Amino acid sequence: MRAVLLLGVLTWITSSLVAGCGGGNSCEEAIANAAKLYGIGGSSYGAQRAKAVQTCKDEKWSEKLRACAVAARTKGELDACEKYKNAEAGGGGAEEYVQKSKRSEAELNLESIKRSLKAHYAEMAMFPTGSAPLTPATACCAHSPDRKCPPNRSDWQGVAVWDSLDFEMSEPSYFQYSYESNDGKSAVARAVGDLDCDGMTITFELRCEAPDGEVSCTLTKPDRAD
């Protein structure tokens, strides 16, 4: 399902990336949020908006899709919905895709940490020493309504290892991150999250070593999807 949206430019698919989508979300609200995220307006906005709303109604977008389009907070979340919609249209796998999308955050950020660890080791012949507890300190599920950790520079700045790795979250996240290295010869970074907010967390672990002066890293993924 692709809807040519607002000024004939914006193509987007409704989303179910945010947990806890509920009722009462209209096509009008879904389209309005898409326009807001893409910064679209202007003199022809009204006509294009009406057309997009009618497309939503004609195609009978589900309550879940409409609700999550309303809940989307970034263009990335909105754009990622094409795969979700395809999964739903195929009669299954939608929830699996949603969880996979959330899990990919941890993998991407741990990959970023890995690159920083390699760069630091190449320059200093050691990994940053020290530790950082789960950051941010408050679990993401404790934040309403998105159940995501909000980006807050003060959570990361001034923490020696995060400064050394030039790592911080600049967008809302589903995971908290930690780091530890006692001797600079090995390092472990973790991403911990509760994607469905049921009180049971999953952990991605990145472990890096350099026994022969060349950095080697292993990413261990959780057994369950959460």
193-196, long-range: CB < 8 A, 24+ apart: 193/102, 193/106, 193/140, 193/226, 194/139, 194/140, 194/141, 194/226, 195/19, 195/99, 195/102, 195/103, 195/226, 196/19, 196/99, 196/226
Per-residue pLDDT of the chain (226 residues; tens, 9 = 90+): 334 333 333 333 333 333 333 345 788 888 888 888 877 777 667 788 888 888 888 877 777 777 777 777 777 777 766 555 555 555 445 555 556 667 789 999 999 999 999 999 999 999 999 999 999 999 999 998 888 999 999 999 999 999 999 999 998 999 999 999 999 999 999 999 998 898 999 999 999 999 988 999 999 999 877 6
pLDDT value at position 78? 74
136 CB neighbour count, 10 Å cutoff: 20
pLDDT value at position 184? 96
Residue ranges of domains in the chain: 3-92, 102-220
pLDDT value at position 217? 97
What is the widest separation between alpha-carbon atoms in the chain?
Answer: 65
Confidence (pTM): 0.60
pLDDT value at position 121? 97
**3-state helix, strand and coil shares in percent for the chain, rounded to the nearest 5:** 40, 20, 40
61, HSE (Cβ side, Cα atoms, 13 Å): 32
pLDDT value at position 12? 36
